[in-house]
Structure 1
């Protein structure tokens, strides 16, 4: 067909006037007209960086899930109530620092009675009971009551937090009750803990979940000892572990994991009787003792019972210490160096130290280990517990 014909001109006109398709913009208006679900992308440039907000520096972050796990009889609930008391009354943390902003604490427990256990323990720990709220029941539209279920009712609790102005701490005891499915399956655990993670984030609330160690897990990595799926430890930003030596009446609380700060160290504690209500009620309370150093596995090993092989190693460590300290006090740093060189695990050395009644004494700014038979000079400050430089 020759150029310039009427048919060709009509074709060009149609092409020039045809509508042009453009991709939908990423603006809110375009999203409102999307035909179905759509993924929203957020630019990192739009995110405002912010520091971690700590309830207790390097131990309890606000807006996160924290796990407290331990052996039976370690006083996990008593420790959790001590933490609740500190937050409610603006008390002192185990490291001596103060909770500078007291506030509301929510507590859900399926294992202990409010009247004869939880409230007396809170009183013994010095709690401001006006700042403690028990998560009790749920009322439906008709007013019918049912018990709160952390596997079902967390969104309702989140709405209640909005209504009361929030809380600084929520304790869930035990945390496995928040899992409606199989607590040994990672997908079930992650899916069921997400509402608690959302509540923590949305309200700036630290969520402390209490749980147990797996049976026959002694000596394994502390994070692997948390009962149920490893997802419990993965979802939590901080995992705390506890063990208690009934014979020595001494326990330890240690950091097994943290994504947000130092990942080791801990505190010794004792569980003691205390009387409240003018002596009419006897209850238990945790008394925090000295700070301990080292990885959680070694800290737990210093108080947990040992098997025959460990007992033999402990006897060898005791002989090593008796020989090392026979001529007088030795600096803790030197003890550790010599023990490492001799192939002794530090947790075994700690146990042997306790067996021999070795004392830690401070001279100037340096800690020394001393056999009981060795007289210390007047300038030495004694302590009955463990210290590392």
Structure 2
């Protein structure tokens, strides 16, 4: 037998084996397989046989029902307090940070880094939560009646049953790293493996699951997503990723949408942490709460860059603003070539001054006539120069009104 005929014979045997496997699979699928004749395979479903559904939101644009989300930030920046504020709103139908009304639902909170009785519960009660709608996982039990402490890394399947039984609408896992039973939070495969049961919990119960985590060290110069501690899979698996960033020289914070496939990747909200007190059973408790500020719009990285800017950068901005104000000195128009020369003489960035003048002070930078070769000039707008604002977030406010 020639080499060619040998090859043809081998191909024929392989085709016959494939066809035999197909017949066995079809027979098993139709219920005609022989006893003990197990067939392995993959079930495929055609797109035209599947239905679609809309994204259902718990908080429009931020939190979807039946999905996993991540909230990240540096330690001590108020992430857990933020989650308590949202929990209080959802248990009472209160106002959300953007002014919308929260749907009423039960909330489950796993807190692995804070005291339940002396920190979490007073914070929730102080912010007005309906405590009958708050659920805390304390222990797990088995069929033999054995009781052990609840462990999110091993008990998510049992938690799924409890979430469904108590009709939980929002689940907070703080910290989400507690899900790691084995492997490393820095390994994408391990992270995806640990998050899969949580995804199934969200999808099967319809709850919005929020995992709280930290930023890594020395990550300020990275993108906001890349700051999240461990593997980028934490953010990649989540339907949306929110981060908390604090102003460099104040206690003001912003919650930003840095990754989402359920809404626009845009803006966020301002908030402050504030002390509050309340009386309960004849005792006065002191805790921390959240005061919501204005709604923001804009690229998250640009907002973060503005709020994290240092004092030296602010001084440069004020110097450029003063430079632009002094430019005109009674004139309505200044040639661009003169502006560039003066900027060089004063040691300021011409491009920086140009952006400041156009974007924040309203200067009109146009050609001096209809001739395409006419020189460029800077002109004062009809309404006059805008004085600008020392508020770093002023360019990003959606409105001038605070959210109640």
Provide TM-score, normalisation by structure 1: 0.76
Distance 2:124 2:354 in 1: 38
2:201 corresponds to which residue? Answer: 199
Matches within 5 A, 1:305-344: 306=310, 312-324=312-324, 342-343=351-352
TM-aligned CA deviation for residue 44 of structure 1: 1.2
Residues 196, 314 of structure 1: alpha-carbon distance in 2 compared, 3 angstrom cutoff: same
Distance 1:130 1:153 in 2: 23
Distance 2:85 2:125 in 1: 10
Q: Which runs of 5+ in 1 are unaligned?
A: 1-20, 328-339, 351-365, 374-382
2:17 corresponds to which residue? Answer: none
Secondary structure at the counterpart of residue 108 of structure 2: strand
Distance 1:192 1:62 in 2: 20
**Where in structure 1 do 4 or more consecutive aligned residues deviate above 6 Å?**
344-347
TM-aligned CA deviation for residue 30 of structure 1: 3.7
1:169 corresponds to which residue? Answer: 170
Q: Is the 8 A contact 2:24 2:33 kept in 1?
A: no
Distance 2:126 2:355 in 1: 35
Matches within 5 A, 1:90-129: 90-99=93-102, 101-129=103-131
Equivalent residue in structure 2 for 1:86, among 69, 80, 89: 89
Equivalent residue in structure 2 for 1:243, among 245, 261, 272: 245
Distance 2:146 2:23 in 1: 55
Distance 2:386 2:154 in 1: 54
Distance 2:273 2:214 in 1: 18
2:375 corresponds to which residue? Answer: none
Say yes or no: does 1:293 pair with 2:303: no
Distance 2:32 2:168 in 1: 35
Distance 2:323 2:61 in 1: 39
Q: Which runs of 5+ in 2 are unaligned?
A: 1-21, 329-348, 360-382, 399-404
Residues 137, 220 of structure 1: alpha-carbon distance in 2 compared, 3 angstrom cutoff: same
Q: Is the 8 A contact 2:85 2:290 kept in 1?
A: yes
Residues 52, 346 of structure 1: alpha-carbon distance in 2 compared, 3 angstrom cutoff: farther
Equivalent residue in structure 1 for 2:224, among 217, 222, 235: 222
Secondary structure at the counterpart of residue 168 of structure 1: strand
Provide TM-score, normalisation by structure 2: 0.73
2:52 corresponds to which residue? Answer: 49
Secondary structure at the counterpart of residue 129 of structure 2: coil
Summarize deviations over 1:194-221 as a string: whole Å, max 9, x none.
Answer: 0000000111111000000000001210
Residues 225, 261 of structure 1: alpha-carbon distance in 2 compared, 3 angstrom cutoff: same
TM-aligned CA deviation for residue 241 of structure 1: 0.5
Q: Is the 8 A contact 1:219 1:301 kept in 2?
A: no
Residues 323, 214 of structure 1: alpha-carbon distance in 2 compared, 3 angstrom cutoff: same
Root mean square deviation of aligned Cα: 3.2
Secondary structure at the counterpart of residue 26 of structure 2: coil
Summarize deviations over 1:215-261 as a string: whole Å, max 9, x none.
Answer: 00012100000001111011011000002237422111101100111
1:68 corresponds to which residue? Answer: 71
Secondary structure at the counterpart of residue 172 of structure 1: strand
Distance 2:273 2:70 in 1: 20
Summarize deviations over 1:80-129 as a string: whole Å, max 9, x none.
Answer: 11111111111111110101x31111110111112111111112222111
Residues 297, 385 of structure 1: alpha-carbon distance in 2 compared, 3 angstrom cutoff: closer
Say yes or no: does 1:257 pair with 2:267: no
Deviates more, 1:54-63 or 1:239-248: 239-248
Summarize deviations over 1:102-158 as a string: whole Å, max 9, x none.
Answer: 111111011111211111111222211111100111112232221211111100111
2:153 corresponds to which residue? Answer: 151
Distance 2:27 2:66 in 1: 30
TM-aligned CA deviation for residue 24 of structure 1: 4.3
TM-aligned CA deviation for residue 302 of structure 1: 2.8
Secondary structure at the counterpart of residue 197 of structure 2: helix
Distance 2:90 2:246 in 1: 24
Number of equivalent positions: 327
Distance 1:39 1:31 in 2: 18
Q: Is the 8 A contact 2:321 2:353 kept in 1?
A: no
